[in-house]
Amino acid sequence: MIAFLLKRFLTLIITLLGITIISFSIIHLAPGGPLSPLTEFNPKITPEYREKLVKMYGLDKPLYIQYLNWLKGIIKLDFGKSFSLDQRPVWDKIKERLPITIFINALSLILILLFSIPLGVYSAVKAGNTFDRIITIITFIGYAMPSFWLAIILMMIFGVKLQLLPISGLHSTIGYDEMDVLLTKVSLIGLNILSVLYL
């Protein structure tokens, strides 16, 4: 058992290191380098100031030292300062957006469970009938579709045509007060049903 856990832990560490190496490499393989969005689109930035930024972010050091410094920062949850014009700490920006991200993910999980569990149980009980075949076809079509394309189609249906959900941001430009009430009701109903299912 201990050997299995150690093997899993080592696999996790190697996977995380691989992810960090790929992420770091993609940042540096982008045309122009990490500072391009900050410097190339701002006519007021002089070459001297650009050199100052390069030294400030440690981009003048060899790549392996940059990677090690970046990795140390990740371990300490110090992601440095943003390359955007405000140059705020990245961790502050993450903390601002984390609550709504968790809320949206929790709400989507509730909706997934609300639909998938009853449909899956009914399909299993009535295996082979017309309803089961329709659900199976829809499931395979859903898996086959690119998720970004399916997301755009659903945004067009629920955001533009039916105007039930906001297209961008937390609030809809039309009737956002009603949107808040709808989100709250959906999340409370979902939590109540989940508590009944799992208690």
The larger pLDDT score, comparing residue 46 to residue 95, is at 95
Count of residues for the chain? 199
Predicted TM-score (pTM) of the model is 0.52
Q: Residue 130: is its pLDDT beyond 50?
A: yes
Q: What is the pLDDT of residue 164?
A: 75
Q: What is the pLDDT of residue 83?
A: 66
Distance CA 35, CA 58 (A): 11
- Token pair of 149 as six digits: 């394309």
Q: Judge contact between 85 and 38, C-beta under 8 A.
A: yes
Report domain extents, the chain: 2-87, 94-198
Q: What is the pLDDT of residue 171?
A: 55
The rounded mean pLDDT for the chain is 75
Kindly report the number of other CB atoms within 10 A of residue 164's CB atom.
13
Angle among Cα 165, 169, 170 to the nearest 5 degrees reads 65
What value does the mean pLDDT take over residues 156-185?
62
Distance CA 138, CA 141 (A): 5
Q: Residue 152: is its pLDDT beyond 80?
A: yes
What value does the mean pLDDT take over residues 22-39?
71
